[in-house]
Amino acid sequence: MRHTISVLVENKFGVLARIAGLFSARGYNIASLAVSETMDPSISYMTMVVEVKDEDVLEQIKKQLNKLIDVITVTDFTKREHVDRELILAKISYASKDKDRLEGIFNKFVGKIIHHEEGTAIIEAVGDAQQIKLLLEELNKFGIKELVRTGKLAISN
Amino acid sequence: MTGAQILLESLKRAGTEVIFGYPGGQVLPIFDQLYDFDIKFILTRHEQGAAHAADGFSRATGKVGVCLATSGPGATNLVTGIANAYMDSIPMVAITGQVGTHLIGNDAFQEADVTGITRPITKHNFLVKDVKDLSRTIAEAFYIASSGRPGPVLVDIPVDVQRAETEFIWPGKIKIRSYQPTYSGHPGQIKKAAKLISAAKKPIIYAGGGIISSGAHILLRELAEKIQAPVTTTFMGLGAFAGTHKLSLGMLGMHGTAYANHAIMESDLIIAIGARFDDRVTGRLDTFAPYAKVIHIDIDPSSISKNVKVDVPIVGDAKNILGPLIKQIKKAPDTQSWLKTVEAWKKKHPLAYKHTGKLIKPQYILEQLWDLTKGDAVICTEVGQSQMWACQWYKYLTPRTFISSGGLGTMGFGFPAAIGAKIGRPDKEVFNIAGDGSIQMNIQELATCVANKINVKVLIFNNGFLGMVRQWQELFYKKRYSYTPITSPDYVKLAASYGAIGIRVTKKSEVRKALEKTIKTDNTVFVDFRIEPEENVWPMVPAGQAINKMIDGLA
C-alpha cells in the first residue's frame, strides 16, 4: 500500500542522503519525493510517498526517520485529513485541429497549454492522484512524448 | 586560536581524558598541538586498534571514548571500530582529518568521503567546513554520542579548517531542536505495566545493555527482588545483574543457558528492559515465548515492536522508569511455584563440560579465573567460541566488567578494547579472553601495551582452529573443515620480542599456577593455553530454531 509521509528537516547538506540511505539500507522504495525550503530557510519540507507491504514496516520507517538527528517532525497522512496535489508537465503530440478536443479536457481538469509548436504541445496540469491518472489517460490518446512529475505534495487540513 | 587548538580545547572541555589515535598528513596541525597539550594520547599501531580502544575505554568507564585518525585510509581503518560501537550503542567521538576544503571531491591524495562511508554506522556525523562551527560541533558531537540511545559520532575536519583561526567560544548547554530524546516514562504506561506485573504468574525479567548504559542495575535488582522474578540478561546485559544472585539465570539465546531459554519460553510475562529482542535471543521469531505478554522499556522507540509485538511499551531511560514502576507495584505477584519450576530446570540442565584426557578444557580455565578473581576484574573478549565460554563460565557481578563485541561480532576487538579498558580502569586487572584466530587480527597492539606499560593479560585459548566456524562445519557441513584450521606464531617468543611476557600451558595441572603468575606479573602477558582442539560450545540453538530446541553434545 502507498503512504504519504511528510518530514520537516534541518536544511543542511547531507540530510537528503541520510533519508535516502535509511530507505535504501532496508530495501524500502520511495515512490516519489518532493523537497523544498519552507518559509524558514533553515528548515526544509519533504513529502514522500512510500510503498510498504504492511503497517509494521510503515511504523518502523517513521521511527527510523524520527531517529535521524536532523529530522524535526514526521507526519503520516495515512489517517489524517489532508489535501494533496501533484504538478505534471507533459509533452504531447498536437496539431491545431486538436485544439477543441484538448480544451474539452481542460474543462474537466486543471491544466493548460504552456507552449506549443508544430506537432508538439507542452501541458501543465495539477491534480490529486486520481485526477492525474485520469488526465494522463486522456492525454495518452494524443500520444505522450515526454512526462515529468513533481511527485505528491501534501498538507494537513 | 587555530582550528587544531580549538579542537583540543573543545575535547578537553567536553571531558576527554585520553585520545587513541594515529597521525597522518591531514591531521598534522592537530598533532603539532598535541605535542605539548594536556591530554593523554595513546599511539596505537593501527587505526582500527584506536577505535576499539576508545570503545573499550567507554565500555569500562561509561565516558565518551575518543579516537583520532587521518583522512582516507586512516579514516577507513576506523570504520569497523565505529560500526562495532554503533551496533552496541557505545558513546564514542571519532575525529578524522580531511583533505583541504578546496580539494574535497577531487580524488585528492588520501581522500575518502568519510561522512558518506560512515553515515549508516554512526548515530550522526559532521563535516566541518568553517572553523567558526568547530567548537559547537564538538560539543554537539559529545552531546549526541552520550545522550538518548548512545552511539558513535564522527567529526571530519579538513586540514585547512585545522589551520584557520577564529575566536574560541565554548557553547553553554547544548540544545538541538530536532533531537530531544525521551527520558521519563509515560505514567499511564508505567501504571499499566505495574498491573500486568501484579497479575503475572510466571514473570521473567529480560535485561539488556540499556541497564548498563543507563546505570539502572541497582534498581533492576530491587525490582527483581520485589516481584521475585528470575532475571536473564542478554549478552550486552552481562554484569547488569549479578551472575551469583539466586534469581539470576545467566544469559539467554543461542548459547545461553538452557534454563534461561526454557524460562522465557514458558513465561507469561516478559519485562524487557534496555534490550532489543535480537535474533540471537529470540531464535525463530514465530515460536518465541508464545504465552507471554510483553512489557518493553527502552530509550529508543524504534527498538519497540521491531521484532516482537509489545503489549506495554514504555519509552524512556530505564533509570527513570524503574523507580516509579517499583513504587507502582502495589502487590507483588505470587511466583513461588514458578521459581520452583525454574529451579528444577537449573538442576536438570546445568551448564556442563567433561574432562577427557589430559588436554585443557577452556571452561576449566575460566572456572579457575573466576576462582582467583571472584568477579573483581574486567573481562574483555574476542569473538567466537572463547567469547561464548567467557559468557557462560565466568560470573559478572557488576556493570562494565564484561567488554565484548555483541552486535557486530568483530574479531580483533578484544585486545585493543582491553587496552582502552585498562587505561580507563587502571585499578582493575584486565583480561582478554582470546582465540588463536581473533588475537592474530590486531596482534600489533602488543607494541602499544609495552610502549605505554599498559598491562593487559591475554589468555589465548589456542585450539588451532577458527573454532566457532569449525563447530558449525562439524554440525551442519559434514565436518568439512574448510579453511578453519589455522596456524599461530610462537606466542611466547612473539611476546618476548615485543618486550612482553609469554607463557605456554599445555597441561590442566599447570592452569591455575599459570593464571596466578599472570596476575602477579607487572607486564603484558600472553598465555598460550593449548586447549582441546574440537571442544564445542554447548548448549546451542541452531540458527532459525525455537530457543528451547537446544542441542547439547554432552547428553
Q: How confident is the model at residue A98 (pLDDT cuts 50, 70, 90)?
A: confident
Which residue of chain A comes nearest to B147, CA vs CA? A69
Q: How far apart are CA A142 and CA B306, in angstroms?
A: 49
Residue B385 Cα distances to B87, B464, B484, angstroms:
20, 12, 13
Chain length of chain B: 555
Query: At residue B352, does pLDDT exceed 90?
Result: yes
CB-CB under 8 Å, B119 with A17: yes
For B171-184, what is the mean pLDDT? 94
pLDDT digits (tens, 9 = 90+) for A34-67: 999 999 999 999 999 999 888 889 999 999 999 9
3-state secondary structure of B458: strand
Cβ–Cβ gap A67/B119 under 8 Å: no
Give me the phi and psi of B102, to 5 degrees please: -70, -15
Alpha helices in B103-158 (DSSP H): 114-118, 134-146
In angstroms, what separates the C-alpha of B164 from chain A's closest C-alpha?
Answer: 22
Q: Which amino acid is at B426?
A: P
Residue B401 contacts residue B62 (beta carbons within 8 Å): no
Name the H helices within B384-484.
Answer: 385-393, 414-424, 446-452, 467-476
Say if the Cβ atoms of A21 and B119 lie within 8 Å.
yes
* Cα angle: B440, vertex B443, B446; to 5 degrees: 155
CA distance B360 to B437: 18
**Contact yes or no for B306 and A60 at CB 8 A:** yes
Element containing residue A135 per DSSP (H, E): helix A129-140
Query: Which chain A residues in 55-114 lie under 8 Å from chain B, judged by CB atoms?
Result: 56, 59-60, 63-64, 66-67, 69-72
Residues 2-31 of chain A whose Cβ lies under 8 A from any Cβ of chain B: 9-10, 13-14, 17-18, 21, 25
Q: Which residues of A touch B147 (CB under 8 A)?
A: none
The whole-number pLDDT of residue A27 equals 86
CA A57, A58, A64, A67: dihedral to nearest 10 degrees? -150
Is the interface score ipTM higher than 0.85? yes
DSSP tag of B173: S
Closest to B346 (Cα-Cα) out of B476, B265, B250: B250
Q: Which of A10, A21, A63 sits opposite B178 (nearest CB)?
A: A10
H or E stretch covering A67: helix A55-67
Summarize pLDDT for B439-455 with one digit per residue, the tens: 999 999 999 999 999 99
The Cα B407–Cα B253 span in angstroms is: 13
Q: Chain B partners of A69 at a C-beta cutoff of 8 Å?
A: 123-124, 144, 176, 178-179
Nearest 5°: CA angle at B83, between B82 and B87? 120
Give the tens place of pLDDT for each residue, B478-496.
999 999 999 999 999 999 9
Could you tell me how many CB contacts below 8 A there are between chain A and chain B?
A: 35
CA B486 to chain centre: 26
Interval B316-333 mean pLDDT: 97
Question: In the structure grid, which three cell numbers stand for residue B200, read together?
Answer: 503475572
Cα B351 to Cα B389: distance, rounded to the nearest angstrom? 10
Per CB-CB distance under 8 Å, the chain B contacts of A70 are 124, 178
User: Cβ contacts (< 8 Å) between B123 and chain A: which residues?
Assistant: 69
Read off the C-alpha cell for B407: 552486535
Nearest CB neighbour to B302, from listed A9, A10, A63: A63
**What pLDDT sits at residue B172?**
84
What's B120's DSSP letter? G
User: Within chain B, what is the greatest distance between any pair of CA atoms?
Assistant: 72
Query: B241: which 3 cell numbers?
Result: 545483574
User: Strands B18-21, B40-43: parallel, antiparallel or unpaired by DSSP?
Assistant: parallel
Q: What is the pLDDT of residues B182-220, one digit of tens each?
A: 999 999 999 999 999 999 999 999 999 999 999 999 999
**H/E stretch holding A5:** strand A2-10
Window 164-193 of B, Cβ < 8 Å to A: 176-179
Is residue B73 reached through a cis peptide bond, with omega within 30 degrees of 0 on the bond before it? no
Q: Is the pLDDT of residue B555 over 60?
A: no
Residue-wise pLDDT tens digits, B367-421:
999 999 999 999 999 999 999 999 999 999 999 999 999 999 999 999 999 999 9
How is residue A110 written as a grid cell?
486543471
What is the SS3 assignment for B268-311? CEEEEECCCCCHHHHECHHHCCCCCEEEEEECCHHHCCCCCCCC
State how far the Cα of A5 lies from the Cα of A62, in Å rounded to an integer: 8
Contact A17 B301 (CB under 8 A): no
A13 contacts in chain B (CB < 8 Å): 127
Considering only CB atoms, which chain A residues are within 8 Å of B181?
A: none
Cβ of residue B285 closer than 8 Å to a chain A Cβ? no
Which residue of chain B comes nearest to A10, CA vs CA? B178
- φ, ψ of residue A111 to 5 degrees: the values are -170, 170
**How much is the pLDDT for B357?**
80
557481578: which residue's cell?
B397
Q: Is A72 close to B177, i.e. CB distance below 8 A?
A: yes
Mutation choice for B interface testing from A65, A67, A73 by most B CBs within 10 A: A67
Q: Which residue from A17, A60, A69 is facing B302, i.e. has the nearest CB?
A: A60
Q: Which residues contact B467 (CB under 8 A, 6 or more apart)?
A: B384, B385, B386, B435, B437, B461, B484, B535
Nearest to B222 by CA among B245, B199, B243, B239: B245
To the nearest whole Å, the CA of B127 is away from the closest chain A CA by 9
- For the stretch A70-97, pLDDT in tens is 999 999 998 899 999 999 999 999 998 8
Buried/exposed B374-394: b ≥16 CB within 10 Å, e otherwise: ebebbbbbbbbbbbbbbbbbb
B301 contacts on A by Cβ (under 8 Å): 63, 66-67
Query: Cell triple for residue B221?
Result: 535488582
Cβ pair A63:B177 closer than 8 A:
no
Mean pLDDT (chain B) is 97
Closest by CA position to B80, among listed B457, B486, B451, B417:
B417
- Of the candidates A30, A1, A18, the one whose C-alpha atom is nearest the C-alpha of residue A64 is A18
pLDDT, residue A79, reads 86
**Mapping DSSP to helix (H, G, I), strand (E, B) and coil, where does residue A64 land?**
helix
The CA distance from B384 to B460, in Å, is 12
Region B127-141: mean pLDDT is 98
Distance from C-alpha of B242 to C-alpha of B259, rounded to nearest angstrom: 17
Query: Closest approach of chain A CAs to the CA of B354, in angstroms?
Result: 45
For helices B47-61 and B414-424, the axis angle rounded to 10 degrees is: 50
What does the pLDDT average to over B231-252?
98
3-state SS assignment for residue B397? coil
Query: Percent of chain B at pLDDT above 90?
Result: 98
Q: How far apart are CA B42 and CA B52, in angstroms?
A: 12
Asked whether the CA dihedral B219, B221, B227, B232 is positive or negative, the reply is positive
Residue B554 predicted with pLDDT over 90:
no
Average pLDDT, chain A: 94
Q: In Å, how far is A85's CA from the nearest CA of chain B?
A: 27
d(CA B4, CA B158): 11
pLDDT of residue A1: 86
**SS3 of residue B505 by DSSP:** strand
Average pLDDT rounded to a whole number, residues B238-257? 97
Q: Which residue has the cell 507471554?
A: B292
> Which residues does chain B have within 8 Å of residue A56's beta carbon, measured at their own beta carbons?
305
pLDDT at B553: 82
- B158 contacts in chain A (CB < 8 Å): none
